[in-house]
Amino acid sequence: MNKYFKMCAPALLVLSLAACGTDKAQEPASTSPETSTVESQGEHAATQTITYLGEKYELPAEVHNIVAASLESMEDAAMLGIQPVGVLEVGGKVPAYLASAFDGATLIGNKMEPNAEAILKLDPDVIVGTSKFPEETAAKLNKIQTMIPYSHISTDWKDNLTVLAQLAGKEEDAKKIIADYEAKVAEAQVKSKEQLADKQILIIRVRGGMMYIYPAGVYLNPVLYEDLGAPIPAIVQAAKAQDELSLEALAEVNPDIIFLQFEESENTDSPKALEELQKNPIFTSLRAAQNNQVFVNTIEPLAQGGTAWSKVKFLDIAAEKLLQ
């Protein structure tokens, strides 16, 4: 089907695309490649079958053209030194925090709706997307080439990094990144188990002028609650996905420490939301605000959280801010 689709005229592509009309955690699974040979349109074509998070994905035996159709895969590609042929844009360009890693890559649209025609022109061997894609978006991309739905669940970060490394022949690099991270965690835990044992810590993301929190296994939360062993606040335990957080609910928690994330491109209709929040009497009365323990954008605000790039960066920052 992929081969047929690539042979279609551009007009047929447009018609085909026009006809196409929740956060959910997954259990970590092994990620291993398996090479096989299949019959395709009368010719023998070597393929490989990648097993990732319990699902199998058939790809060409040799992968050269990788399209990174998610910020998650872009972050991990930057960690591994992989050069995708296509990457996402934010505001018409590669996100500033990743720009130096992808000089020369073709822009393929935004994270909500990657441009299928732009991707088709790159003749990808694999498209690394995201598990957050709506079904119709995933279907469009799979018509072009196999799309691997890179997990946005933070606890799947090792599986994510491993599968991307296998696609590019960077397995040893991935193993080293994981080993180095685990060594840093072990070192930090010597202090964190004692110093954070009685601390209420929240990571809050301001989007569309509103405050949001995430479940313990999503975004940057695993660094705090799993790797550093900080207690999980009840409000985080109760979160099912990206949950809105009111000032009143925040006041009830009255956290000791707040990591506050604000990205301008996510608050275009409320550009002063961060400033207004920091001046709000309820917010200024919080224990974290009173003790100067509100840390704003300590990590790039567009960072996806559940990637090797995000975890490595945030672990260093959290250890610096929280452990003395």
- Residue 20, number of CB atoms within 10 A of its CB: 14
From the list 228, 233, 194, the residue with the least C-alpha distance to 320 is: 228
pTM for the structure as a whole: 0.83
Query: In the chain, what is the greatest distance between 2 CA atoms, to the nearest angstrom?
Result: 72
Give the N- to C-terminal CA distance of the chain in Å, as an integer: 58
Residue range 99-135, pLDDT digits in tens: 999 999 999 999 988 999 999 999 999 999 999 999 9
Burial tier of 195 (Cβ tally within 10 Å: 0-12, 13-18, 19+): middle
Q: pLDDT (tens digit, 0 to 9) for every residue of the chain, 324 residues total?
A: 444 444 444 444 433 444 443 343 333 344 444 433 333 333 555 899 999 999 999 999 999 999 999 999 999 999 999 999 999 999 999 999 999 999 999 999 999 889 999 999 999 999 999 999 999 999 999 999 999 999 999 999 999 999 999 999 999 999 999 999 999 999 999 999 899 999 999 999 999 999 999 999 999 999 999 999 999 999 999 999 999 999 999 999 999 999 999 999 999 999 999 999 999 999 999 999 999 999 999 999 999 999 999 999 999 999 999 997
- Tell me if 227 sits within 8 A of 259, measured CB to CB: no
Structure tokens at 88: 């996402």
Residue 193, pLDDT score: 87
Residue 324, pLDDT score: 79
Order of strands, edge to edge, in the sheet holding 210-213?
A: 243-245, 210-213, 201-207, 257-262, 294-296
Domains of the chain: 2-150 (3.40.50.1980), 190-322 (3.40.50.1980)
What residues pair up with 87 in beta bridges, in sequence order?
Answer: 68, 107
Virtual CA dihedral for 176, 181, 186, 187, nearest 10 degrees?
100
Angle between helices 157-168 and 71-80 (to 10 degrees): 60
DSSP secondary structure string for all residues of 31-100: -EEEEEEEEETTEEEEEEEEEETTEEEEEESS---EEE-SHHHHHHHHHHT---SEE--BTTB--GGGGG
Virtual CA dihedral for 305, 58, 125, 162, nearest 10 degrees?
30
Q: How far apart are CA 205 and CA 183, in angstroms?
A: 28
Residue 45, pLDDT score: 56
